[in-house]
Amino acid sequence: MIYDAWFWTGAVICILSFVICVIMTTIRTFPDDASIISVGAVELFLVVYSVAALVRSITSTPIAGPLWEFWGYILTALMLPVIAFAWAVTDKTRWSNLVLGAIGPTVLVMIQRMQVIWFG
C-alpha cells in the first residue's frame, strides 16, 4: 500500500483535530472555538485534497479503482464536517465537542480508503 504525502498530511490534521476536540470535551461545557477551528482545518484539507485529486487524475496519475467510489468518498467526507458544525452550533452541550471529535478519525479512515482506491 502506498501512503503519499497527502495521506500523511491528512492523518496529522485529523489526529490533531480529534485530540483537540477530546480535550475540549473534558474541559468545556459547550463547543469551543478550538474544536470548531480544528474541524474547519479538516474541511479545508478535504477541499484542497479534492481539487488536487481532480488535477492529478486529469494530468498525471489516473485512479486505479472505480471513479464513482473515489468521488463518493470525497463528497461524503466533505459533508461530514459541515454536518458536525451544524450540530455543534445548534446543540450547545459538552457532547457537541465529541461529535466534532468524531470527524477526525472518520475522515482519516475515509482518506485511507481513498488511497486504496487511488493506487489499487
pLDDT digits (tens, 9 = 90+) for 56-101: 989 988 888 899 999 999 999 999 999 999 998 898 888 899 999 9
pLDDT at residue 9 in the model: 97
CA–CA distance, 92 with 115 (Å, rounded to integer): 36
CA–CA distance, 1 with 114 (Å, rounded to integer): 12
* Tally of CA atoms within 13 A in the half-sphere of 117 that contains its CB: 18
| Percent of the chain whose predicted confidence (pLDDT) is above 90 | 73
